[in-house]
Amino acid sequence: MKPDEPVIGGPCWAELGTSDVEAAKRFYTKLFGWRPRTAARLQTGGYAIARLGDAAVAGLSPLYQPAQPVAWNVSFAVRDADAAARRVAEAGGTVLLGPEDVFDAGRFAVAADPDEAVFQLWQARAFPGAGLFDAPGALGWVELLTRRPDRARDFYTAVFGWSAGGTERYPRWSVGGAEFGGMVPMDDKFPHEVPAHWLPYFAVADVDRAAADATSGSGTVLMMPTSLPEGPRIAVLRDPQGAMFGVYRAPGG
């Protein structure tokens, strides 16, 4: 079972930090059918919210700091951002920004785990997060790639209360009995310069078509479409500005 709405401790939002928001709008609109619109209160910053129908599904944001990489970021829902930030520090992570308010939408913080994988905390107020999960064009799975899997297990269990099942090769994260993500231990096959990171996966009706559409839109296929044993068909892609993300076949696809 996967969460079908934001739940405390689980992923609630995916946000792209990009060097070209307008180009990203065009790429992801073609790929996922999104309708990105600049958020009314954030027009001066250029932050856009992508929708499918009436549901918000992801954010597209300009880079706010010179050293900020082009990347997808995953937010996890918390009841109290300040308390969660304290747990991050106590468990050996680092709070990079905040907590601070985003108008009346919520309160957020940016943090890094002990292996420096960056993630976000979101305390919802007027904005709960994504309004659609595990459907074509929507977030449905998140994956931590890390060189310190044992430390990561201890850290995220302490911060969010997650459980880690699955196998040693691919542990699966769950909260309240609902699986929402996995962990990939990074071995020598990963280039040294690739940092630990969170990778969001979006559902699609056809993984092979999505890979072809990404390529025709000047993106790159990093992992060719592959059918996992006892799992979905997946691929890992990179957009024209360099942000990596995954796609998987939606249930019933």
pLDDT score at 85? 98
The tokens for 68 are 């900020």
The tokens for 155 are 């850290």
pLDDT score at 240? 98
Number of domains in the chain: 2
3-state secondary structure of 165: strand
Q: Are residues 19 and 60 in the same domain?
A: yes
Residues 6+ apart with CB under 8 A from 168: none
- Enumerate the H helices of the chain as residue ranges: 21-32, 81-90, 149-160, 207-216
pLDDT score at 253? 63
Residue 71 exposed, middle or buried by CB count within 10 Å (0-12, 13-18, 19+): buried
**Residue whose token pair is 């060719």:** 224
pLDDT score at 67? 84
The residue among 67, 93, 124 that closes a domain is 124
Consecutive sets of 10 residues in the chain, 253 residues long: mean pLDDT of each? 76 97 97 90 75 96 89 98 98 97 94 98 96 96 97 97 90 93 92 94 98 98 93 96 97 73
| Cα distance between residue 37 and residue 52, in whole Å | 11
The residue among 77, 101, 124 that closes a domain is 124
Q: Are residues 16 and 120 in the same domain?
A: yes
The enclosing domain of 81 has a CATH number of: 3.10.180.10
Q: Are residues 198 and 236 in the same domain?
A: yes
Q: Are residues 204 and 180 in the same domain?
A: yes
Residue among 199, 200, 172, 212 nearest 57 (CA): 200
3-state secondary structure of 103: coil
Q: Is the pTM of this model over 0.85?
A: yes
Q: Are residues 144 and 47 in the same domain?
A: no
3-state secondary structure of 225: strand
| Cα distance between residue 214 and residue 26, in whole Å | 11
Q: Are residues 89 and 176 in the same domain?
A: no
pLDDT score at 54? 94
pLDDT score at 111? 98
Q: Are residues 120 and 162 in the same domain?
A: no
Looking at residue 172, its amino acid is R
Asked whether 141 and 182 are in contact (CB, 8 A), the reply is yes
